[in-house]
Structure 1
Amino acid sequence: MRKKLLGVMSLLMVLVMIFTGCSQKSTADESKTEDEKYKVAFIYVGPVGDAGWSYSHDAGKEYLLKEMPDVEATYIESVPEGSDSERVLTELAEKGNQIIFATSFGYMDSVMNVAKKYPDVTFIHCSGYKTDKNVATYFGRMYQPRYLSGVVAAKKTASNVIGYVAAYPIPEVIRGINAFTLGAKSVNPDAVVKVVWTNTWYDPAKEKEAAKSLLDAGADVITQHQDTPGPQQAAQEQNAFSIGYNTDMSQFAPEAYLTAPVWNWGPYYVDTVKAVRAGTWKSAQYWGGLKDGVVALAPMTDLVDEETKALVAKEEKKIIDTDWDVFTGIIKDQEGNVKVQEGQQLTDEELLSMDWFVEGVEGKIAE
């Protein structure tokens, strides 16, 4: 009887040990799952410290981390467009990142090439137009706040000459120049917009010199499609006025800065990551505007009078609350040819492929 009792007790101890071991293993596995972060990566064309384009995307990344603490987000800055970006994208995919945000137009073909090799990774490309099952594009209708900033510039200029320091002659930049000019001409028919190309996104010295050449040509307000405060600093040094881009850069030229068309990427990044994780994400081409909040006009400084601020608020409300948009006819090109008939609007396809200047722009679109 005693032997049987000992046998039963031994069996019970073995079962307890097995059960306890399984429980510990299960708890450890659950802990590991909970501790694992959802990996997201970003590649930037410039340094995070540019105070402009790359800085705005990095601010969006930080917003994502704040809203989703279980996300691990890494970034690689100053990645050249071309073969280098393809190598970096491949490395990020190999490291287990489930979503990769490529934040410059010139990364588009590299994204498409790498995405084919990693069908289980989601690639989101900023400002491009090519898509695939695991590739989407995203951008904002920056031309809307550009239009509003044109109103500000044209109400401020005394010489009726506004200088525009522009990066590359691609549709995105051309569209912005045209929208700015339409805004300026809407309140000051005598205003002209002089364009100088730098063929760079990030070159503080070159951008500053381009602004100086425009100031020497009679401009008393400088605006830009560049990633540094260089053009604004040039304006301040010559007692002119400036309009920035990407972020509120007022600290770099406080005596010149009026406002800036700015980006707010954070909410888009959060929505996208949530959709991919939930399995509801589908490839698409996102293009949000003032109504979505992905683009905005930064607060105008005290250098802008109250009349202008009220006018801008009225125009902004019209864009947000009605069907009217910036590229509504009649619109003529530089040669005076009607490109958009009265009451008609350019389609998104036409906007995304824009390769001509509106009336009022002084400059050429280089090949």
Structure 2
Amino acid sequence: MRKLVIIGAAALLAAACSANTAGTTQADPSGPGAASAAPGKDATAVGFIFVGPKDDYGYNQAAYQGSQEVAKAFPDVKVLTAENVPEDDNAARVMNSMIAKGAKIIFATSYGHLDAALKVAAEHPDVAVVQQGNLITGTPPKNAGTFFGTVYEPVYLAGIAAGKATKTNKLGYVYAFPISQTLDNIDAFQLGARSVNPKVQTYTVNTSSWCDPAKQAEAVANLLKQGVDVISQHQDCTATVIKATEAAGKYTVGYHADASSIAPKGWLTGSQWNWGPLYTDIVKTARSGGFTGSKYNGNFRVGYKTGENPFVQSPYGPAVDDETKAQIEKAREELTKSSPFAGPVLDQKGEVRIPEGTIPDYETIEKIDYFVDGVVGTLPKS
């Protein structure tokens, strides 16, 4: 879920290559000029690239865990992984090095990996290349696609827990970039909280980084000074925000992974990835020769209304009472038919963005570019 960030690309690429992808990229005989089999058919190796470290208590850790589920599901398949792969042309080089090692299915797991993923897909028509979180415009190539869960649904439910727990009616949200997925989450968090607490507001701080512990610590301090007593986030590495919030004696709502172990007192709940089943089905589909024309050969999204959302609610902490759990469970059931963004939805200026009686589809929600009423903060210019 990434935005293009080029920081120390050479060093990061070296780190990536140390994770099972070392070696020089070689020309692939199955390139554009060669006859190609069905993308990913009978693959004996699968590659995964991650934009950060696999132990970040967050986005990359969850994706890495999903890759290991693939290894368990297909013991005859070699799983190649690479950490700290930048969102630039270096990503293509790492993917090509995996293909040179025999990978016929590639998972590019960061938002900003899309351009590199499409470049690699064009060069290797017999390789199935799937990208996590972004969207392909126009008709996708026969060997490429994107996939994601509806991240804002469990975030909305976590917002209910936050809205019930706050004493100051001030929630905090530390986020990286103003991409639609981030805005969806912040807005859903506020809407969930407001559904049980009409007075609540969500204060936002932008770090302009997916993982910068110094900026994260500063963001938490800023929010605490404003009287915030529940803090959530949309960052890749989550430990700094959670530890700082716990140290201040405030409540925390997690994201990407279950980090309740580092906030034993203040953890409320959160939302986390369970990528194993989806990753496994993508590999199964490609290996069978059925990738082209499948649901994965496009912009695949799944949520409570359409299937098994890979983004699930995290365990509850000790501060969440039974009444709140019951409210969350009721809301979860309603989301199988409705949406966190069921109208009317107003933006910060009071303008109606989603009319009353309207339940927007997933595609519409992924194009949200505004803060809803009750969110405090100004969107940075991208």
**TM surpasses 0.5:** yes
**Structure with higher helix content:** 1
The CA deviation at 1:37 is 7.3
Q: Indicate if the aligned counterparts of 1:146 and 1:261 stay in contact, CA closer than 8 A.
A: yes
The CA deviation at 1:251 is 0.9
Q: Distance in 1 between matches of 2:363 and 2:339?
A: 15
Of 179, 184, 188, which residue of structure 2 is paired with 1:179? 188
1:200 partner letter: S
- Matching residue of 1:127: 133
2:61 partner letter: Y
Q: Indicate if the aligned counterparts of 1:37 and 1:70 stay in contact, CA closer than 8 A.
A: no
3-state SS of 1:178 partner: helix
The answer to whether 1:101 aligns with 2:103 is: no
The CA deviation at 1:237 is 1.3
Q: Indicate if the aligned counterparts of 2:343 and 2:359 stay in contact, CA closer than 8 A.
A: yes
The CA deviation at 1:340 is 0.8
1:335 partner letter: K
The answer to whether 1:354 aligns with 2:379 is: no
Q: Distance in 2 between matches of 1:352 and 1:94?
A: 35
1:1-367 alignment, distance < 5 Å: 38-130=44-136, 131-227=140-236, 228-282=238-292, 283-290=297-304, 291-320=307-336, 323-367=337-381
3-state SS of 2:312 partner: strand
Q: Distance in 2 between matches of 1:357 and 1:293?
A: 24
Q: Which deviates further from its counterpart, 293-302 or 173-182? A: 293-302
Q: Distance in 2 between matches of 1:86 and 1:75?
A: 14
Cα deviation code 1:31-51 (max 9, x no counterpart): xxxxx9710000001100101
1:330 partner letter: P
Flag the structure with larger Rg.
1
Q: Distance in 2 between matches of 1:366 and 1:347?
A: 26
Q: Distance in 1 between matches of 2:378 and 2:93?
A: 35
Q: Indicate if the aligned counterparts of 1:246 and 1:263 stay in contact, CA closer than 8 A.
A: yes
3-state SS of 2:243 partner: helix
- Matching residue of 2:27: none
Q: Indicate if the aligned counterparts of 2:272 and 2:313 stay in contact, CA closer than 8 A.
A: yes
Q: Which deviates further from its counterpart, 250-259 or 160-169? A: 250-259
Runs of 5+ unmatched residues, structure 2: 1-41
Q: Distance in 1 between matches of 2:90 and 2:250?
A: 39
Q: Indicate if the aligned counterparts of 1:332 and 1:339 stay in contact, CA closer than 8 A.
A: yes
3-state SS of 2:155 partner: helix
Q: Indicate if the aligned counterparts of 2:267 and 2:318 stay in contact, CA closer than 8 A.
A: no
Q: Indicate if the aligned counterparts of 2:43 and 2:105 stay in contact, CA closer than 8 A.
A: no
Q: Distance in 2 between matches of 1:73 and 1:233?
A: 33
What is the total number of aligned residue pairs between the two structures?
330
The CA deviation at 1:293 is 3.8
3-state SS of 2:329 partner: helix
Q: Indicate if the aligned counterparts of 2:176 and 2:234 stay in contact, CA closer than 8 A.
A: yes
Sequence identity, in percent?
39
Q: Indicate if the aligned counterparts of 2:44 and 2:78 stay in contact, CA closer than 8 A.
A: yes
Q: Which has the higher contact order (CA 8 A, sep 6+)?
A: 2
The CA deviation at 1:82 is 1.1
CA RMSD of aligned residues (A): 1.3
Runs of 4+ in 1 over 3 A off after TM superposition: none
* Normalised TM-score (structure 1): 0.87
- Matching residue of 1:4: none
